[in-house]
Every structure is written in structure tokens, then in C-alpha cells.
């Protein structure tokens, strides 16, 4: 066996699968390790799609709960992270769509308090926030996976259930739409 093949096999080896096997065997500490390893990326997805820090934090707990409960169903044909990101994207988009039709009536005092809290914990760019809020949740998920989680087109395609070329095309369109909204926001 050549050295090139050995190197590729070592690269493709998913270290997460060891932790997955340990969790399935009953080692709950192993899942805490997975949680700490992917929390930021999953939170970035939820935050980018939902545009709300508290709601995103709540969604992260639900996403990892779903993964924890269904870990035995994971067939290991893909990497664990790909499966995890797919669950995160689908769950966040579902929640964003549902929230769009069930807007909550929040008293003004609570709304101001929540805004202050978000601003305190997340000093993100307001123009980016405004431009992102004008996009479709699926576009926000794409931009989040690419710019915040810095996934490759291959990983994005696997997470969204499409090819890398399709992911590239969809990413290009999402970027263009974001650019239009961003420039409009900056001008205003």
C-alpha cells in the first residue's frame, strides 16, 4: 500500500466516530466532548438562521438533544459533523419558518431589555444583521456555514444534501442577494 493512500486514509478518518461509539456504549462524558467540540459551529448556524441569540442558544440545546437521542440511528456513512450540521440547519430553518407565522407579542419593556442583552453579548455588525434578516432562512444557513463555520463547499453540500457544485451555485446566489441587501442597508 502506497504512502499516499495511507495518508488519505488517515485524513478521512473521523475521530468523532470513536466518541459516537462510546456514547452509544453508555459513556455520557463522551457526548459532552462532542458538545464542546461543535457547540460554536452549531450555535453559529442557529444564530445565523434565527437571528436571535437566546432562541439560538435554546435551539442548540434541542439540536444536541435530538442528536443524543438518535445517535443509534446514525449510520456512519457520513462524518458525524456533517450529520450534526444537517440536523442543525434543518431544525433552525424549521424553527425560523414557524416563528415567521407565529410572531410573539412582546411588551415594549421586555423587548428593550432583550435588545440590550443581545447587544451586550453580541456586538455583531448591525448592518450585517439587517441584511441577513432580509434573506431567506436557507440563504442565511448557507452564508453561515461558509463564512462563520468556514466549511468547504463539499461539506456544505453534504450538510444540505446536495452536490458541491449545487452548493457553489446556491452560495453564489445567496452572496449576491446578501450584497444587494447589505449595500441597501449601508446607503440607508
Partner 1 sequence: MRAPREIEELMWEVAEGGDQRTIDQFYSRYPEFADELEKRMQMVKTLRGSRPRKDVPSFVPRQSVRTLGPSRLAVAAVSLLVLASVTYATFAAMQFVNSQKTVRVEQPPEIVFNPPKFVQEDPRVDTSSVVEEYSAFQGPAVDERPEVPDIFMGKVTLQAEDISLSEAIVSIATQAGIEASIAPGFVDKRIRISCVEQPALSVLQELGQRFGFTAFKQGTIQLLIVPARSGDEVDAAGVPLKSNVSTAEAGSGNTKPKDDKEPDNEPPVN
Positions that interact with partner 1 (CB under 8 A): 31-32, 35-36, 39-40, 43-44, 47-48, 53, 56-57, 61-62, 64-66, 68-69, 91, 94-95, 98, 121-122, 124-125, 127-129, 143, 147-148, 172, 175-176, 178-179, 182-183
Cα→Cα distances 88→14, 53, 95, 158, Å: 19, 15, 11, 13
- Compute the least distance from the CB of residue 162 to partner 1, in Å: 18
For 13, list phi and psi in degrees, rounded to 5: -65, 130
Residue (12 or 31) nearer to partner 1, CB: 31
Residue (14 or 127) nearer to partner 1, CB: 127
- Compute the least distance from the CB of residue 5 to partner 1, in Å: 30
Distance from C-alpha of 179 to C-alpha of 8, rounded to nearest angstrom:
38
Distance from C-alpha of 67 to C-alpha of 34, rounded to nearest angstrom:
11
How far does CA 40 lie from the centroid of its chain? 9
Residue 124: which of 174, 56, 36 has the closest Cα?
A: 56
Residue (14 or 62) nearer to partner 1, CB: 62
Residue (36 or 77) nearer to partner 1, CB: 36
Packing angle, helices 80-101 and 16-24, rounded to 10:
80
- Compute the least distance from the CB of residue 1 to partner 1, in Å: 35
Amino acid at each position: 500500500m502506497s504512502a499516499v493512500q495511507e495518508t488519505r486514509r488517515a485524513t478521512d478518518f473521523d475521530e468523532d466516530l470513536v466518541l459516537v461509539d462510546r456514547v452509544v456504549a453508555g459513556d455520557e462524558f463522551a457526548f459532552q466532548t462532542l458538545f464542546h467540540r461543535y457547540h460554536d459551529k452549531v450555535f453559529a448556524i442557529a444564530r445565523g438562521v434565527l437571528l436571535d441569540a437566546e432562541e439560538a442558544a435554546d435551539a442548540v440545546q434541542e439540536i444536541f438533544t435530538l442528536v443524543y437521542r438518535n445517535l443509534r440511528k446514525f449510520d456512519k456513512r457520513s462524518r458525524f459533523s456533517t450529520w450534526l450540521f444537517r440536523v442543525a440547519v434543518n431544525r433552525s430553518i424549521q424553527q425560523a419558518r414557524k416563528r415567521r407565522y407565529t410572531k410573539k407579542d412582546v411588551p415594549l419593556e421586555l423587548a428593550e431589555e432583550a435588545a440590550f442583552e443581545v447587544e451586550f453579548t453580541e456586538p455583531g455588525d448591525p448592518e450585517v444583521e439587517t441584511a441577513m434578516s432580509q434573506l431567506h432562512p436557507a440563504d442565511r444557513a448557507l452564508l453561515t456555514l461558509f463564512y462563520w463555520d468556514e466549511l468547504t463547499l463539499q461539506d456544505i453540500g453534504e450538510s444540505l444534501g446536495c452536490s458541491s457544485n449545487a452548493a457553489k451555485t446556491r452560495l453564489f446566489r445567496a452572496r449576491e442577494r446578501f450584497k444587494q441587501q447589505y449595500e441597501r442597508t449601508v446607503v440607508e
